[in-house]
Structure 1
Amino acid sequence: MRRNWGARLRHVTLDGLRAVVLENERLRVTAVPGKGGDVVEFLHKPTDTDLVWLSPQGLRDPRDHLQGAADDVAQFVDHYEGGWQEVFPNGGAPSEYRGARLAQHGEVAGLPWSCEVVADREEEVAVRLAVRTRRLPYRMERVLRLRSGTAALEVESSATNDSPVPLHAMWGQHLVYGRPFLRPGARIRLPEGVRVIPHGSAIGPDGRRRVRPGGPWWWPLVPAADGAETDLSVVQEPGAPSDIVYLTGFGPEGWYEISGDIGMRVTWDATLLPYLWMWQELGASTGYPWWGRAYTLGLEPFSSMPTDGLAAAVANGTALALGPHETKRLRWRVEVVHQ
């Protein structure tokens, strides 16, 4: 009998793709093993608030995409439904590493993952997702866990070098937020002592940016591109400049909070992912791929920087190194904290 109380799970089909729903008294979380294991719903049930951003183009099965010119950026963006992705082994722009051509944000976000139930009790439910990369010899697993009575999703991930050759990778959690949770004036809180490293160039098509190049600066008040000062802890109005900055200086445990009508907190192992990418796309980009329709903020724990791809991270010394047959393990957690 399917349980309708406490922690419970069910397998569903979402827009033609395999999906799994983990639910308890306070949260409903939907992940899509059929497309990268993406989390496409993180619904706080008492307030009917979904925290993840959902792209206007919706969820698309990558296997159904047969039109358009070959493009290492479009491979990710054309199938980007919003949601939360695991990014591995390449972060940001397309890159070439040891003869392997890697598309934007790597391989695993566009691949189908296997799904196995590892706990199905009233007290907790959990599923294990797994995938092997195709361009590089890696194996990844992630366990999504939801416990009864909590408003928190717990994630345990692992990345294994499945070869006798030392390798590099970029590893990140592509966590992006949107309406109804995200709104102008919402506040972002970080630990004391965090530094802000601006991206090397503007990311918007109009050349505008929010933060002046240079740095590093101290969070949250930083020089603005217009010569004034901007407070990065405040979410901006629609139409504010697109930008990306890199935050670093976390202790062993990284954390941040976003507070609006409700609040949420993310914690992660900052010894493995020492950077936090802060991506702002608030409607200023009116060309491909956003067309002025995006209002989203990404706060993405990452192993490396900048968004120029794996080869650049290897060159600047921030790439993750995995020895022969080595496994790296990561734990992170996202929780609604203000209700």
Structure 2
Amino acid sequence: MRRNWAARLRHVVIDGLRAVVLENELLRVTVVPDKGGDVVEFLHKPTDTDFVWLSPQGLRSPRDHLQGAADDVAQFVDHYEGGWQEVFPNGGAPSEYRGARLAQHGEVSGLPWSYEVTADSEDEVAIRLSVRTRRLPYRMEKVFRLRSGTAALEIESMAGNDSPVALHAMWGQHIVYGRPFLRPGARIRLPDGVQVIPHATAINPAGRRVRAGGPWTWPIVPADGGGHTDLSVVQEPGSPSDIVYLTGFNEGWYEISGDIGMRVEWDASLLPYLWMWQELGASTGYPWWGRAYTVGLEPFSSMPTDGLAAAVANGTALVLDPYETKTLKMRAEVMA
């Protein structure tokens, strides 16, 4: 029997794409299996606050690129609606691995996933999504679970190597925050002892790292050549764009908060890095055109955002042995 109370779910269609709405007394979470299993809504109902950033271009079917001359970047960027993506087995820029050309953040974020309902009661609802990659012999599953009375989404993801040879991968959670939740002055908290690695240092490991924890800073140098930015505080619109990498997590968690907040927890032994990406309106060319105000806080297995080949070269790529499956558990909870 369909419910409109406690934990419940609905099957809907958004812009021609299959979607599932998981809902309880406090949260409404919308997942799009037809586009990478993306989370396109994470709404805290008591305050009417959606945490995810939504791109001005909106939700687009990943099948659209087959009708045109898409390149390895356009496959992701031209169909990027914001929200939260599973990134596997390539993170960041297009890359080539053992003869396979991998697109930006490819492959699973651009594929339709199959799904099934695994729990549907007043106490909890859950769906399991699954997909197989096309360029590498991987399979993935992902379970979203929402329990009655909680403001937390529980996620369990599995990545499996279906071949008799060891393979590398980059595995990440592309989580970005936007208005109305994200505002100048919002605070980011991390465990003590975390270190900040600038992108230039990630490419050249001889560079230095800066300790984080408590108030932590790293100089983001704008076009005019001056200034430092306190990365624990979300900056004003028009502030410089940048990406840094954080590591040294004894516990995998962060909090980002303004009037209310979000706490994300994950297995830092599997995803030991956190990519922090900010696009606050300073980029006035493709693809942002000055319209983005967003911060990404993205647990990742590897770095930098230069693709799988670079991660293999610097020793941070994840290794899946023949027929091995790795499991990642996460929790995203609203702090009200």
TM-score of Structure 1 vs Structure 2, range by shorter chain: over 0.9
> Which position in structure 2 is the counterpart of 1:185?
185
- The CA RMSD measured in Å over matched residues stands at 1.3
Deviant stretches of 4+, over 4 Å: none
- Secondary structure of the residue aligned to 1:312 is helix
Alignment of 1:316-327 (within 5 A): 316-327=314-325
- Residue type matched to 2:218 in 1? V
Following superposition, the deviation at residue 71 of structure 1 comes to 1.2
> Which position in structure 2 is the counterpart of 1:139?
139
> Which position in structure 1 is the counterpart of 2:23?
23
- Secondary structure of the residue aligned to 1:175 is strand
- Residue type matched to 1:160 in 2? G
Q: Residue 196 of structure 1 contacts residue 247 of structure 1 at CA under 8 Å; is this kept in 2?
A: yes
> Which position in structure 2 is the counterpart of 1:232?
231
Q: Residue 282 of structure 2 contacts residue 290 of structure 2 at CA under 8 Å; is this kept in 1?
A: yes
Following superposition, the deviation at residue 214 of structure 1 comes to 4.4
Candidates 260, 263, 266, aligned match of 1:265: 263
Counterpart Cα distance in 2 of 1:13 and 1:270: 35
Comparing 62-71 with 130-139, which one deviates more in the overlay?
62-71
5+ long unaligned stretches in structure 2: none
Counterpart Cα distance in 1 of 2:262 and 2:70: 39
> Which position in structure 2 is the counterpart of 1:292?
290
Q: TM-score, normalization: structure 2?
A: 0.95
Following superposition, the deviation at residue 223 of structure 1 comes to 3.6
Q: What whole-Å deviation, never above 9, does each CA across 1:30-82 have from its counterpart, x for those lacking one?
A: 00000000000000000000000000000001213456543101110000000
- Secondary structure of the residue aligned to 1:221 is coil
Comparing 58-67 with 308-317, which one deviates more in the overlay?
58-67
Q: Residue 268 of structure 1 contacts residue 331 of structure 1 at CA under 8 Å; is this kept in 2?
A: yes
> Which position in structure 1 is the counterpart of 2:218?
222
Q: Residue 187 of structure 1 contacts residue 258 of structure 1 at CA under 8 Å; is this kept in 2?
A: yes
Q: Residue 196 of structure 1 contacts residue 215 of structure 1 at CA under 8 Å; is this kept in 2?
A: no
Following superposition, the deviation at residue 200 of structure 1 comes to 1.9
> Which position in structure 2 is the counterpart of 1:276?
274
> Which position in structure 2 is the counterpart of 1:208?
none
Aligned length: 326
Counterpart Cα distance in 2 of 1:229 and 1:313: 28
- Residue type matched to 1:136 in 2? L
Alignment of 1:34-53 (within 5 A): 34-53=34-53
- Secondary structure of the residue aligned to 2:200 is coil
> Which position in structure 2 is the counterpart of 1:333?
331
- Residue type matched to 2:230 in 1? D
> Which position in structure 2 is the counterpart of 1:205?
none
> Which position in structure 1 is the counterpart of 2:245?
246
5+ long unaligned stretches in structure 1: 202-212
Counterpart Cα distance in 2 of 1:227 and 1:176: 27
- Pair 1:92 & 2:92 matched: yes
Following superposition, the deviation at residue 221 of structure 1 comes to 2.1
Following superposition, the deviation at residue 261 of structure 1 comes to 1.4
Counterpart Cα distance in 2 of 1:329 and 1:112: 21
- Pair 1:73 & 2:69 matched: no
Alignment of 1:169-180 (within 5 A): 169-180=169-180
Candidates 293, 306, 309, aligned match of 2:307: 309
- Secondary structure of the residue aligned to 2:119 is strand
Q: TM-score, normalization: structure 1?
A: 0.94
- Residue type matched to 1:110 in 2? G
- Residue type matched to 1:191 in 2? P
Comparing 180-189 with 220-229, which one deviates more in the overlay?
220-229
Identity fraction in percent: 83
Q: What whole-Å deviation, never above 9, does each CA across 1:176-225 have from its counterpart, x for those lacking one?
A: 00001100000000011110000129xxxxxxxxxxx9431112123443
Counterpart Cα distance in 1 of 2:132 and 2:220: 43
- Secondary structure of the residue aligned to 2:106 is coil
Counterpart Cα distance in 1 of 2:296 and 2:263: 14
- Secondary structure of the residue aligned to 1:109 is helix
- Residue type matched to 1:312 in 2? A
